Amino acid sequence: MVHPIQLIAYADRLGGTIPALGSLVRQRLDGAFGGVHILPFFTPFDGADAGFDPDDHTTVDPRLGSWDDVKELSRDLDVMVDVIVNHVSARSPQFRDVIEHGEDSAYASMFLTMGSVFPDGATEAELLQIYRPRPGLPFTPYRWGDGTRLVWTTFTPAQVDIDVRSDAGAAYLVSVLDTLRDAGVRMIRLDAVGYAVKTPGTSSFMTPETFAFIDELAELAHDRGLEVLVEVHSFYRRQIEIAARVDRVYDFALPPLVLFAAATGDHGPLARWIGQRPVNAVTVLDTHDGIGIVDVGPHPDSGEPGLLDAAQLDLLVEAIHEATGGDSRAATGAAASNLDIYQVNSTFYDAMGRRDRAYLAARAVQLFLPGIHQIYYVGALAGHNDRELLAQTGVGRDINRHIYSDADLERDLHRPVVAALLQLCRFRVDAPGFDGTFRSELDEHGWLRLRWESESGWSELRARLDRGEAHLRWARAGGPEHATDDLLANPPAHA
């Protein structure tokens, strides 16, 4: 089955509301996207973590629309929505009740504390073993009735972790699944699910207990007709392992390997990954988060070789910083709040050095790989790093979360690189061969060759990302061959 290309977008940052986002996809972007991953639109969409800290996961922020608007969007588009598995906002009604009533609250068991996970106390070694995406330990002191507890907060103090094994936690997650099913959602993304189960004496990240929980949650989702995408940044072999157990997994290795090939001319790591990557992947070059590094590096504990070695990884990070004129350096790690130890923050277009042809070649590689293809709204508009928003919020990821005005949108839709990318998406939707067999190779001259063949015909891409060259050939069965060697000046018409 050939899936439609999906647009990843915040409704408040592109269009302004859920209905406006739908109108934009159907009209201004007509034919390019057949699905939308709407980033968190719950109450409130503008909390401490851009909607990933909902007060109420079962309500739509009325400033953006309603569940009826989500259902209307699903009328002719594949709609994906986040299920924020690991945590809720510290402002949620449930946690506020716990703050007031402590153990007498009906929701006391819904939230994890250090004591509930380590009832007999924890050693220094056990605490240091906990894997966390940000520096420091994952605990925040909160009032708990008449006392104080160390509440488990994996990400920020404003996001309190759920005990997904408790009756209250399980009932909460089921209520979210039911709400999304009723709104016509077809796919859910399990956000931060790798951290959801805490097991003493382990890293509490993607443990056997985590896998068991994912299996159980996926079964509940399937019972409601929901397909499941698992979001995990980790060592690349772990991604392959996860892919064998779930409907869909992100190909987070793709963006850094594409950037490495574009920066160095060495397409070998990318070609080797294409030869072993999961076919049930969701391909991305950019998302609302940063560009993952841990996904291609050596194993952080064992040192097992990754898709890139430590020296190549350093080269890649420095190449991104140079390509962005230092913007990514100012938005990454200790230079900005919302610290990440495994990502570089930048728009993908700027990380490619704003080279239009190289950028289109990278998108062509993405669209030629097996899987479901998602393009982030800033990437769809070849967006620049938003230095002003970064300076305003101090949050590194905001450099890649521009809020588009109507004027911004009008300007960017008329840029040749954006028009060419949208046309490439339209080509990919009905090009011949993509319902058949996929082959890839790296030839002796360093060209990456990707080819699809079926009874309907064939399509082939030859690309050199460092040169910004992409040669596209295609033909329907029994028909003439078509070609373009310049995706910017001569983007393919509908196949």
191 has binding-site annotation: yes
The SS3 call for residue 392 is: helix
343 has binding-site annotation: yes
CB 111: neighbour CB atoms within 10 A?
28
The single residue of 163, 231, 286, 460 carrying the catalytic annotation is: 231
Say if CB 457 and CB 433 are below 8 A apart: yes
172 has binding-site annotation: no
CA end-to-end span of the chain: 18
57 has binding-site annotation: no
286 has binding-site annotation: no
Catalytic, 191? Answer yes
189 has binding-site annotation: yes
342 has binding-site annotation: yes
341 has binding-site annotation: yes
469 has binding-site annotation: no
411 has binding-site annotation: no
107 has binding-site annotation: no
The single residue of 61, 191, 350, 356 carrying the catalytic annotation is: 191
**Across-strand partners of 296?**
none
350 has binding-site annotation: no
37 has binding-site annotation: no
Distance between CA 356 and CA 230 in Å, rounded? 31
Distance between CA 17 and CA 13 in Å, rounded? 9
Which positions ≥6 away from 445 have C-beta within 8 Å?
none
- CA-wise closest residue to 14 among 30, 37, 31, 34: 37
Say if CB 216 and CB 208 are below 8 A apart: no
Distance between CA 397 and CA 340 in Å, rounded? 9
- CA-wise closest residue to 361 among 491, 495, 273: 491
> What sign for the dihedral angle of Cα 263, 269, 275, 276?
negative
Distance between CA 192 and CA 206 in Å, rounded? 10
Distance between CA 302 and CA 292 in Å, rounded? 19
Catalytic, 231? Answer yes
Rg of the chain over Cα atoms, rounded to whole angstroms, equals: 22
| Cα angle 75-78-79, degrees, rounded to a multiple of 5 | 90
Q: Which helix (H) or strand (E) holds 481?
A: strand 481-484
Catalytic residue set: 191, 231
Annotated binding site: 49, 87, 189-191, 231, 288-289, 340-343, 397
Annotated binding site for substrate: 49, 87, 189-191, 231, 288-289, 340-343, 397
